[in-house]
Amino acid sequence: MKELCVQWDHLKIFYDMVSEIDASEYFLETAGRMFAEVINESIFSAKRIIDILVKEAVEAGVKVYVNVPIAQIVHCNGRVSGVSDYTGRTYEADVVINTSGLGVKKFLKGINSHYQDSILSRLGSAVVMRNRRLDRVIVSTEFKGCNLAPANDGYLIVIIYGANQPWIHGNQRFCVIGEEYVEAMEKLRQTFRGDLYDSAVTLPYSCTKTEFINNLYADEWQVNPSYSVIDHKDDDIQGLFTCLPGKLTLAFHATRSIMAHILHQSEENVDLALPSFQLNFHEPSNLVAIEPWKIMGENEL
């Protein structure tokens, strides 16, 4: 772990160390037999990492625009030239990275990409409430298990692994799935100690997940649970990339891959900070950075 921390410090990847703790600190004695992984080493703050990146970019002279809805990707003579907003203003750029999630398909249609029919989106559900003392992520490794994660500003996020995720199409308002909210609250109360959270006020919400259809590593929904990076030179547009980060644990992988493409380097030469020792693939905590469905073969066709 010390080796990883040195590399993370060098890369300015923000993290918090957490002390090792017995799982009984979190789980009810009446919860019964279950399979879950409690993170006992370090946790990342995605927001802090982004804050640091933005600060350094601005100090280096980068212009950052926020709250600017983008209407289309601009390209000419086989090369991307920027993006334009709904007022017609164009923001020039040598490289454009499309990470618009649910909006990805719309932009791919706009450039008549042959990848447009390979993008699918589905609706996920979560519940937010006040956090009392959880300082690390608890990941369920069994179907319909309850995942907990501390969030910003003293909140806690509850997600059910394997919850219903209906397919969705286009941009619109999506309602919260009531039965998913009820299931999440029941699982939470049945599994975890009540002093972890404050459920007096809860906020159920829906979020979207956009993925690439890839039969090589397709899951039960026939999509690729890994991250996906599309280089649109195959659409005869140089300098344009689409990034689908996939599962949250793969955000660093997606970033690495994007930078490898932009810098014209082989992905193998742009390494993540991974341990040099042999990993035990049967420990869930060791699978976070290495695409577990490929190692375990759970989604092989």
170-183 tens-digit pLDDT: 666 777 778 888 89
Per-residue confidence band for 14, with pLDDT thresholds at 50, 70 and 90: low
111 located within any domain: yes
User: b/e per residue, 181-220, with b = 16+ CB within 10 A?
Assistant: bebbbebbeebbeeebbeeeebebebeebbbbeeeebbee
301 located within any domain: no
| Whole-number pLDDT of residue 230 | 86
Record the tokens describing residue 172, joined without a space.
């619109």
What's the rounded Cα separation, in Å, for the pair 147 and 137? Answer: 8
| Whole-number pLDDT of residue 165 | 81
Q: State percent of the chain over pLDDT 90.
A: 24
The total domain count for the chain is 1
251 located within any domain: yes
CB atoms within 10 A of CB 246: 21
Domain that holds residue 258: 2-296
Higher pLDDT, 253 or 114: 114
As a whole number, mean pLDDT of residues 31-52 equals 69
151 located within any domain: yes
H/E element holding 284?
none
Average pLDDT, the chain: 77
99 located within any domain: yes
CB atoms within 10 A of CB 237: 22
Per-residue confidence band for 297, with pLDDT thresholds at 50, 70 and 90: very low
209 located within any domain: yes
| Whole-number pLDDT of residue 110 | 93
Higher pLDDT, 79 or 34: 79
280 located within any domain: yes
Residues 229-253: tens digit of each pLDDT: 888 988 999 999 998 876 655 677 7
167 located within any domain: yes
| Whole-number pLDDT of residue 3 | 64
